[in-house]
Amino acid sequence: MAVAALLLLASFATALRTAPYLPNNVNGKLSVSRLQTQYDPGPLTRLRVTDNVINLKRADSWSMSSVYVQALRRQGGASRATNASVNLLGVEVGQVFLAPVTVGGQSFYVVVDSGSSDPWLAATNFSCVDYQTGDPETEDYCYFGTPYNASASTTYRVLPNENFNISYADGESLTGSMGYESFTMGGITVPSQQFGVVNYAGWFGDGYSSGLVGFAYRTLTSAYAGTSPKQDQPGGQLLYNPLFVDMFTNQGVPPVFSLAIDRDPLNGGVLALGGIPNVPHSPVFASTPIIPVGVNISSGQLVYEFYTIVVDGFAYSASEGTQFNPYTNNNTRKSSLVANGTQAIIDSGTTLVYAPDDVAEAVAGLFKPAGTFDEYNGVWSVACNAKPPAFGIGVGGKIFYVNALDMLLQSSETECISGIQPNYGGLTVMGDVWMKNVISVFDIGAEQMRFAAREFYGLTSSSKAVNT
């Protein structure tokens, strides 16, 4: 399946309406588990600059990933309450990235979500209900963009005797039918993609997106046999190829996608399918195995997936000149990394970096002046004019540093917080604070995450040729 340094006041209204509910409304206790890989890993995919690049749009809304991240933090003891300031919630809720897609000749924006699998769209004349109470509401209440009209398509085919049924741990749910349709995304067309057509929705959207495209493995597809969602049983899903899996198995697209997030809060960044975007970056890529991790509800049912890696550790110092040793050897001339071997999620839907508690505390203490812990909100606050410390995360024998511009986030007109916050024993998350400084490559064919350092400026700057 994160906001930038300055939050627009217009987004606070959305945060006010949505933020008090989702993490506190998660049904039952969540747990995480290691999942099996879905493919036989091959060699590293050769990375080439691709023309199949999508300019992403950023929307202020709870991302599905942030729902689970915040719920697991709360289980670990996060003290942030539902009455925390609206502005702070706007930073912590994360964000969604939207991509344009053409389906059956109709144009939509869809949420790009790395933690779920299905492509789905809300259909014309769908029934909207309050996702908390189940009470009927008008279509506007679900806050979708333009709905999909199957009757206006010449390429739509219904998939008989199957239904679409997906529920999220926060109470949101969608049901409908399954069908085949022509999907075009990033200049790549899949002529007959299986997808969900949503006829019944308990949903709170972002006002732009008409649906979602999942980039997780096929483990989480949500098709079931029969035409009645009420008769669907947990574990009875019928697996099918998600959109990107169809692209690389049937359309000849290399099995890799990559993400470069923009620092500019008005731009989302770029998503490249089958390669990397033409943005300035280091020619050196670090690689590390993907460890698929699942989130399970109290019944044991798998509801979400994360792309997870093992990091070499964390580097932080009050001095930018400090040299760190990314390897576990006895090089006494360089400082050692901290919290070696931590499992961490790569998640663009989360704004902040959620690190082990002692790491977050140490980083906050290195700001000048030092940060203070906000007991009311459960975060490390810093002066808006504070000087950030040097901070980086080691991956695959290389340390990737965070630009000082990303280390301090403005949560209101007068208040700021550190970009590195405690995970409270929950999930360590490498969110947008870190991801803005790298190209993140999801090499599905090799089951590897690969990263290259970005130059410290936004994607809106002029690009130069890359050397890979």
Per-residue pLDDT tens for 359-386?
A: 999 999 999 999 999 988 889 999 999 9
Q: Does the pLDDT at position 304 exceed 80? A: no
How many other CB atoms sit within 10 Å of the CB of residue 228? 10
Q: Which residues are catalytic?
A: 113, 347
- pLDDT bracket for residue 86 (50, 70, 90): very low
pTM given for the model = 0.86
Q: What is the pLDDT of residue 80?
A: 39
Which has the higher per-residue pLDDT, 412 or 136? 136
pLDDT score of 236 more than 80: yes
Residue 75's H or E segment, with its range, is: helix 64-76
Q: How confident is the model at residue 301 (pLDDT cuts 50, 70, 90)?
A: confident
pLDDT, residue 13, reads: 24
Average pLDDT over residues 270-275: 97
At 167, is the secondary structure helix, strand, or coil? strand
25-57 pLDDT, tens per residue?
445 577 777 766 656 788 999 999 999 999 999
> Are 218 and 241 spatial neighbours (Cβ–Cβ below 8 Å)?
yes
Nearest alpha carbon to residue 276 among 40, 431, 454: 454
Residue 202 or residue 96, greater confidence: 202
Q: Across all residues in the chain, what is the average pLDDT? A: 84
Measure the CA–CA gap between 119 and 258, rounded to whole angstroms: 19
pLDDT, average across residues 424-436:
90
Q: What percent of the chain has pLDDT over 70?
A: 83
**Mean pLDDT: which of 242-251, 342-351, 449-458 is highest?**
242-251
Among 343, 434, 427, 320, CA closest to 76 = 427
Question: Average pLDDT, stretch 80-90?
Answer: 40
pLDDT value for 18: 32
Half-sphere exposure of 257 (CA within 13 A, CB side): 23
pLDDT at site 94: 63
Report residue 128's pLDDT band, with 50, 70 and 90 as the boundaries: very high
Domain boundaries, the chain: 32-52+255-468
pLDDT at site 103: 99
Confidence of residue 300 (pLDDT cuts 50, 70, 90): confident
The residues near 40 (Cβ < 8 Å, ≥ 6 apart) are: none
C-alpha torsion angle, residues 66, 68, 69, 71 (rounded to 10): 120
Q: What is the pLDDT of residues 156-179, one digit of tens each?
A: 999 999 999 998 767 789 999 999
Query: Between 140 and 168, where is the model more confident?
Result: 140
Q: Which two tokens stand for residue 108?
A: 């939509």
pLDDT tens per residue across span 244-272? 999 999 999 999 999 999 988 778 999 99
Residue 82 pLDDT: 35
Tell me, what's the pLDDT at 28?
58
Banded model confidence at residue 332, pLDDT cuts 50, 70, 90:
low
The CATH-assigned architecture of domain 32-52+255-468 is Beta Barrel (2.40)
76: confidence class by pLDDT, cuts 50, 70, 90: low
